Amino acid sequence: MRSLPYVVPFAAVITLLAVHPIVPLSPLAEQVVWIVVMTAMLAAVARPALDFRIRNWGGSLLMGVAVFAIWVGPDRIFPGYHGYWMFTNRFTGSVAASLPESSRGDWAVLTLRTLRAAVFVPIAEELFWRGWLMRWIISPHFEDVPLGAWSARAFWIVAALFAVEHGPFWDVGLAAGVLYNWWMVRTKSLGDLILAHGVTNACLSAYVMFAGRWEYW
């Protein structure tokens, strides 16, 4: 039961992603459902675990921008990079946009999609990956393990699983997981990780919209 505030929001994210292909919702309705469901999960379940206090504003902002640069860098330098077989195959899936072309000029959809990416996903993922799993791997009595406690085993397992979560972007996902894990060890602050992750996703959302790189969404 002690794990639920950390695990349930992430489970909600995975569930929403899983049902997307099989539930016929309009793009706007889909974003609204995401916002409503995730707000309910955070307010009703995750609230005891939430801590938005920031210890290192400058470092967390820079970390977020750095991870964004790493995320888009390979495809900027080598166009089509994530189309290579190492990244696009039957195991990792393929790079594809999830937002239909008809909604790419709809600012209501884009605003809610950005809110989802830059606010709700970072909170849910940081609660799970670095707020819970990094500690749970050290000890099932995870609440006795301080945030950011060092364990090479926990560090690399979480980084690897974070990479797997991101499918064809597993390589940059691994780099992001390593950097976020390191930042948690350094700051020992859930709030700093949420901020850094949120900045990354906000930058990525802006890049998607203004550069037309919809495959990142």
- pLDDT for 2-21, tens place per residue? 999 999 999 999 999 999 88
Taking the CA atoms of 152, 158, 162 and 164 in sequence, report the sign of the dihedral they define. positive
pLDDT score at 31 = 97
Distance of CA 6 to the CA centre of its chain: 14
The owner of tokens 């609204």 is: 32
| 130 contacts 144 by C-beta, under 8 angstroms | no
Q: What dihedral do alpha carbons 71, 77, 79, 83 form, nearest 10°?
A: -50
- Is 90 exceeded by the pLDDT of residue 202? yes
- Express each pLDDT in 52-95 by its tens digit: 999 999 999 999 999 999 999 999 999 999 999 999 999 999 99
Residue 203 clears pLDDT 90, i.e. is over it: yes
Reported as a single tens digit per residue, the pLDDT across 95-147 is: 999 999 999 999 999 999 999 999 999 999 999 999 999 999 999 999 999 99
- Mean pLDDT taken over the chain: 97
